[in-house]
Amino acid sequence: MKIKGFAMLGIGKTGWIEKEAPKCGPMDALVRPIVVAPCTSDIHTVWEGAIGERTDMFLGHEAVGEVMEVGELVKDFKKGDKVIVPAITPDWGDINSQRGYPMHSGDALGGWKFSNFKDGVFAELFHVNEADANLAHLPEGVDPVSAVMLTDMTTTGFHAAELAEVELGETVCVIGIGPVGLNSVMGANLKGASRIFAVGSRPNSIEVAKAYGATDIINYREGDIVEQILAKTKNIGVDKVLIAGGNVDTFAQAIKILKPGGAIGSVNYLGSGEFIKIPRVEWAVGMGHKRINGGLTPGGRYRMEKLASLVETGKYDPSKLITHRFEGFDKIEEALLLMKDKPADLIKPIVEIKW
């Protein structure tokens, strides 16, 4: 059977293609998407060639779907179940998973399979490895449109706060307030940060940043963010910096605004640039205990269930991130191109699909 999907044809090239349908292994599932969202990572992958050449690979790694088939060893899911599909679907028996890094199962970034090592979710049907460990039931009362944010935006943004180990009462600066950085603001807030500086410029994002707990907005287009933050903190800086935007030079700024003993949690996908430069003096000539942690988000079932519980209990509302809604499978291309162009009023687009 052939299935249709929206694919990366090569670096800088996309299009609709048909491919042979995936096969379901004994522990796996085949899922049909009901809500999908394009990601800034798709843009780095296609238009910056950030992870190298990929040919005729279906794009997309953010989906809520309906199970169409399960392998004979799958226990907790059956045909017709509505599921949240995490962007990161590790091989849970792998040695890196056992070391505590399932997102790197197999190899660095190996848990990120969709639209990286295998066909993504912008297809009529897609394959999920280890269904019992990598799918989460969509809880009753949680809107699938909200739930699709959990698959990547929420988990990634929150992970920046985890990487920096944000603690009660700390001051935090979040650099970048696209959909990922906004979740870093929310993540820092949920972990108990006090003052939260949010760095960005788009008005919609600023509004959501405030709703998610930002206390101060810094516009990087209106002056150096280092000067602005130091001025607002009596030259002391902040306890933690979360990076969810900018480029390789952003790390130098982060080091400059970080207190000794502070930490950077970065989830930014660096699409270009050879090296990250760390300023020697502001890194306290190498002895400042200023830690730099960069990571791919965790994935899998348990992570999705925990995040969904925050939505179910009303502690977190991901629907604030959605600024553009499309209907119909064929609208995926338009939504992805919108992500590439990033109009000023965009935070995150979604596509609802009725079959």
Report the residue from 163, 166, 174, 180 that binds ligand NDP according to the rule CB under 6 A. 180
For 153, residues 6+ apart whose C-beta sits below 8 A from its C-beta are 37, 39, 62, 179, 180, 183, 318, 321, 348
Report the residue from 19, 44, 137, 291 that binds ligand NDP according to the rule CB under 6 A. 44
Q: Is 178 in the site for ligand NDP (CB under 6 A)?
A: yes
**For ligand NDP, the closer CB: 40 or 67:** 40
- Which residues within the stretch 144-163 sit at the binding site for ligand NDP (CB under 6 A)? 152, 156
Helix, coil or strand: residue 156: helix
Q: Is 120 in the site for ligand NDP (CB under 6 A)?
A: no
Binding segment for Zn ion among 39-47, 162-170, 197-205, 274-282 (CB under 5 A)?
39-47
Minimum separation from the CB atom of position 218 to Zn ion (A): 25
Q: Is 292 in the site for ligand NDP (CB under 6 A)?
A: no
d(CA 235, CA 227): 9
Q: Is 200 in the site for ligand NDP (CB under 6 A)?
A: yes
33 binds, among Zn ion, ligand NDP, none (CB under 5 to 8 A by kind): none
Report the residue from 68, 71, 94, 201 that binds ligand NDP according to the rule CB under 6 A. 201
DSSP for 214-233? Answer: -SEEE-GGGS-HHHHHHHHT
d(CA 4, CA 313): 38
Binding segment for Zn ion among 41-49, 108-116, 230-238, 274-282 (CB under 5 A)?
41-49
Q: Is 116 in the site for ligand NDP (CB under 6 A)?
A: no
DSSP for 110-143? Answer: TT--BTTTB--SSBSSEEESSHHHH-EE--TTS-
Number of residues that bind ligand NDP (CB under 6 A): 28
Strands (E) located in the chain? 2-10, 13-20, 29-36, 57-58, 63-70, 82-85, 126-128, 136-137, 172-175, 196-199, 216-218, 238-243, 258-266, 291-294, 322-327, 348-352
Q: Is 39 in the site for Zn ion (CB under 5 A)?
A: yes
Query: Residues 354, 144: contact at Cβ < 8 Å?
Result: no
Give 284's DSSP letter: G
- Which residues within the stretch 12-41 sit at the binding site for ligand NDP (CB under 6 A)? 39-41
Tell me the Ramachandran region of residue 317: left when phi exceeds 0, alpha when psi lies from -120 to 50, beta otherwise: beta
Q: Is 88 in the site for Zn ion (CB under 5 A)?
A: no
Q: Is 269 in the site for ligand NDP (CB under 6 A)?
A: yes
**For Zn ion, the closer CB: 39 or 338:** 39
**For Zn ion, the closer CB: 41 or 268:** 41
Q: Is 265 in the site for ligand NDP (CB under 6 A)?
A: no
Report the residue from 152, 162, 170, 333 that binds Zn ion according to the rule CB under 5 A. 152
Q: Is 296 in the site for ligand NDP (CB under 6 A)?
A: yes
Minimum separation from the CB atom of position 58 to ligand NDP (A): 18
115 binds, among Zn ion, ligand NDP, none (CB under 5 to 8 A by kind): none
Minimum separation from the CB atom of position 108 to ligand NDP (A): 12
Q: Which of 239, 291, 296, 238 is nearest to 270 (CA)?
A: 296
d(CA 38, CA 178): 13
User: Cα-Cα-Cα-Cα dihedral of 174, 178, 183, 189, to 10°?
Assistant: 40
Minimum separation from the CB atom of position 211 to Zn ion (A): 22
**Chain contacts with Zn ion (rule: CB under 5 A):** 39, 41, 152
